[in-house]
Amino acid sequence: MICPVPDRVLIARNLRSAMSAFSRSTERGDLRDLGPACVSNSGLDFSVFNAMVLSEPVEQAEFARLLDEAARFFHECRVGWSCWLDEAMVTGRGTPPARMLEMRGLLWTAEHEGMAAHRMGAAPAQMPVLEVRPVANEAAREDFWRICAEVFLLPYATARGIYGSARFWEGVLRGWVGYEQGRPMCIAIANADAGSVGLYSVATLPAWRRRGFGEAITRHALEDAWARSGFSASILQATPAGLSLYRRMGYQTRSRVTVWSTR
């Protein structure tokens, strides 16, 4: 009998896969497999895009060892870095994971709700008309990174270096840009890997919010990924701004993903 994978592990495994894509963005990028974790260096000195991700439950002593390996790796790369972690996946008694991170110079940066859905809620009776294009050429990449920069407050050079790179899009993840009358106004990424479809970088420019465009592009990205992969589960890490939408679509909170970074 095959036991189903817990949702919190699906969330962590898909996040690991998605964060690994940043290592392809530049020629200086690098990816290291540490077993229950990976470290991914984008080649850019921007800590959020240089990450250690724990994807399997470990004991505290093992987590400490993995942190030390990650710290050495990023020190050699001479870039700031971050750790994306569901603290419930670090088991045993002793020093709490948060304290371990603080001892190694990482600061709490953000917290997201790890959410999963195995059945999608019905779409609204009326969805907005939206032209959705894949991120498959330079023009679409530019539209994507410009929206990313504005919504997530990223430096233009950093957003261009990651999402404007054709190398970033060579893996299993697929990006989408939504247009209204030819104007780019929303984006989404679907990562069909590690047993689920992960949603990332779902964003709508401020002037077009509260009109249903975010849900429209999200459903488009999911339907395409489900058709390509055959996976039934979907996961994401939600900020407070997206919680009501995702709950309405059928997602439930299964974990807390905290982000710790060197700066």
Domain carrying residue 140: 131-254
**Count of domains forming the chain:** 2
Q: What is the pLDDT of residue 3?
A: 59
* pTM for this entry: 0.95
- Are 84 and 27 part of one and the same domain? yes
Residue 121, pLDDT score: 87
Does any domain span residue 143? yes
Q: Do both 108 and 141 map to the same domain? A: no
132-149, pLDDT tens digit by residue? Answer: 999 999 999 999 999 999
Per-residue model confidence as pLDDT tens digits over 147-182: 999 999 999 999 999 999 999 999 999 999 999 999
Tell me: do 142 and 105 sit in the same domain: no
Cβ-proximal residues to 125 (8 Å cutoff; 6+ apart), any chain: none
Beta bridge mates, 84:
53, 259
Q: In terms of domains, do 85 and 156 share one?
A: no
Least trusted range by pLDDT, from 4-8, 190-194, 222-226: 4-8
pLDDT, mean over the chain:
95
How far lies 60's CA from each of 32, 36, 236, in Å? Answer: 21, 13, 26
Give the pLDDT mean for 57-62.
97
Q: Which class for 98: exposed (0-12), middle (13-18), buried (19 or more C-beta within 10 A)?
A: middle
Are both 227 and 191 inside the same structural domain? Answer: yes
Residue 2: what pLDDT? 52
Residue 86 belongs to a domain = yes
Q: What is the mean pLDDT of residues 32-55?
A: 97
| 102 plus 156 within the same structural domain | no
